[in-house]
Amino acid sequence: MPTHLHRMVYAELQKILTRASGWAGLALSLLVPVVVLIGMSWVQSQTTGEDALVLNNNPISQMVQLEVLTALDWSLTIRNFFVLKLILLMVTAQLVAGEWKDRTLRTLLVRPVPRWSVLLAKFLAVQIYAGICVAITYVFTVGPAMALFDSDADIGPASLAFLVTWGTDAGVIALGMLVSTIFPSVVGVVVGTAMFLGAELALRGGLQLASFLGMEGAEDIGPWMPGNALDAWQGFSTGWDERALGGLGILIVLCAVVSVLRFERTDVP
Pick the more confident residue, 211 or 72.
Answer: 72
pLDDT on residue 133: 96
Which pLDDT score is estimated for 203? Answer: 84
Reference 196, options 64, 79, 89; nearest CA is 89
175-188 tens-digit pLDDT? 999 999 998 889 99
Mean pLDDT value across residues 124-146: 93
- Distance CA(136)–CA(145), nearest Å, equals 14
pLDDT of residue 10: 92
Q: How distant, in Å, are the alpha carbons of 67, 86, 242, 247, 262 from that of 81? A: 22, 10, 22, 20, 30
| Lowest-confidence region among 60-69, 90-99, 190-199, 238-247 | 60-69
pLDDT score of 237 more than 70: no
Asked whether the predicted pLDDT for residue 60 surpasses 60, the reply is: no
For residue range 39-55, list pLDDT tens digits in order: 877 776 665 555 555 55
Buried/exposed 6-16: b ≥16 CB within 10 Å, e otherwise: eebbeebbebb
Asked if the model's pLDDT at residue 168 lies above 90, the reply is: yes
By the 10 Å C-beta count (0-12 exposed, 13-18 middle, 19+ buried), 199 is classed as exposed
CA-to-CA distance for 16 and 94, rounded, in angstroms? 9
The whole-number average pLDDT for the span 208-228 is 77
Domains in the chain: boundaries: 5-265
- Do 109 and 191 meet the contact criterion of CB atoms below 8 Å apart? no
C-alpha distance from residue 179 to each of 145, 212, 258 (Å): 39, 33, 10
Q: Is the pLDDT of residue 63 over 70?
A: no
Task: Say how far apart CA 51 and CA 42 lie, in whole Å.
Answer: 13
112 — phi, psi (to 5°)? -80, 60
Q: What is the pTM of this model?
A: 0.89
pLDDT per position as a tens digit, 79-94: 998 889 999 999 999 9
**How confident is the model over 100-123, as pLDDT tens digits?**
888 887 777 777 778 888 899 999
